Amino acid sequence: MNKKVAVVSLFSGAGGLDMGFIKEGFHIDVAIELDSIACETYRANHPNTTVINYDVTTLTGETIRELIQNKPIIILGGPPCQSWSIMKSEKDGIGGKRGFDDERGHMILEYVRLCQELQPFAIVFENVENLVTEHESSFKQFRNLLEKSTGLALDYRVLNALDFGTGQSRKRCILVGVKRGIPNPFDFLQRINGPKTLQEALQNVPPSEFFRFKKEDAEVMEMIGEGQCWNVLPPQLAYQKMGKHYRGVCKKCKTKFQGRNSCPKCGSKDIANQKGVLTSYYRRLSWNKYAPTICTVRTTKAWGTLAHPTEQRGLSIREAARLQSFPDEYLFYGNIFEQIRQIGNAVPCNMGQAIAKALKQSFEKMNDALSKKILKKIINQPKYHKLLESEKNFVRGVIKKAKSNQGFSVEERKLLKEIYRKIECSSIK
């Protein structure tokens, strides 16, 4: 990617999204992250990037400008998703703070503020799918503010990491903005072939640290087979383990209820576990299916369990990282809890790469259109016939590529500009 362009990463975390852009030839000039341990991880893997351990709420665009000077800017960023997450909705129920009522929800407005101050020519924003479904009005507010403050043409899609070779189902809202006149990057987005099951994704994964079950949970997990969860347990045991989160149904009157071990309608204790709800509780993964979303909690936690299909343990650090499409050699700093938080917060590298490639192709399409305009001006110039024969041969070759809708190389675009300037400045007699 052109070094005259600066890429600024906000809420960088361990660098999953950024890693995808680096794979496509972009250089990340500045990465900004609040978590000091995540900053260590980022620095270790991307030593050529300026990493700033800073709270974005106190950061100004002017500070960032001092680092990148007057280069055109691309901004990447995935503000904290917890306040918009469906996992938070399921766990906290009605009483939990969500959306803009949660302080972390305001981080998407900080993203808008910095975009307004820096005026990038392209942006990529990532967050959970739930932001555009359950919190649609908040998302519209965010999008309108972003469009008004930047003037960019915005579009979004809900993408699934499974379509980009990860072996993990992870739906994310990806919003992309570009200066008007640049084609929509989503028109160029392509899937990446790769693993579709846990078994395919974890082939030859290197050994690493993993979470063990607590003694009381280990006994429960021994009763749960590959691909199963809490709802295969005896109902009274399931209630004992899940408490207020338990979901049951009365066998006599079919009443569904929550957080108790008897029917609230008829009082019967002849109950069954509800199926298809809260399936992340006491969950064991299946080799022959894709993995669910990798989260920030320990993989053996009762809620959000990511248990190994057959072994009495949770997924390991390297297994979780592989499902996020981090390279096996990617280093993670901190203890095991800090490492899984970094991995769970990340955008899958492969998804980032697909977005980066689409963005790059949209830039190339725009540059090709500009080059075609220059080409047309060259051949319509009265002095065209006075060009050197080698220059005419080059122009003829470019005309053939244009007619067959082939893209131009960077060298071809550069030479076209040079020939045009040569003609325009009347250096040909």
Hey, where are the domains in the chain?
6-195+350-361, 215-345, 381-424
- Cα dihedral angle (149, 83, 357, 159), rounded to 10 degrees? -120
Record: fold of 6-195+350-361:
Rossmann fold (3.40.50)
Q: Could you give the count of Cα atoms lying within 13 Å of 204 in the half-sphere of its Cβ?
A: 2
Buried b vs exposed e over 66-100: b needs ≥16 C-beta within 10 Å?
eebeebebbbbbbbbbebbbebbebeeeeeeebbb
Distance (Å, whole) CA 41 – CA 18: 13
CATH number of 215-345: 3.90.120
User: Residue 167 — φ and ψ, nearest 5°?
Assistant: 75, 15
Q: Please provide the DSSP assignment of 152-184 as one string.
A: -EEEEEEEEGGGGT-SB--EEEEEEEE-TTSPP
- The DSSP bridge partners found for residue 256 are 249
What are the E-state strand segments in 215-270? 247-250, 256-258
Query: Does the annotation mark 115 as catalytic?
Result: no
Distance (Å, whole) CA 375 – CA 269: 81
Catalytic residue among 39, 81, 229, 250: 81
Angle formed at CA 180 by CA 371 and CA 132, multiple of 5 degrees:
135
Please tell me the pTM assigned to this model.
Answer: 0.88
pLDDT in tens for each of the 429 residues of the chain?
666 899 999 999 999 999 999 999 999 999 999 999 999 999 999 999 999 999 999 999 999 999 998 899 999 998 875 654 665 444 444 445 555 555 565 788 999 999 999 999 999 999 889 888 888 888 899 999 999 999 999 999 999 999 999 999 999 999 999 999 999 999 999 999 999 999 999 999 999 999 999 998 999 999 999 999 999 999 999 999 999 999 999 999 999 999 999 999 999 999 999 999 999 999 999 999 999 999 888 899 988 899 999 999 999 999 999 999 999 999 999 999 999 999 999 999 999 999 999 999 999 998 888 888 888 888 888 888 888 888 888 888 888 888 888 888 888 888 888 888 888 776 555
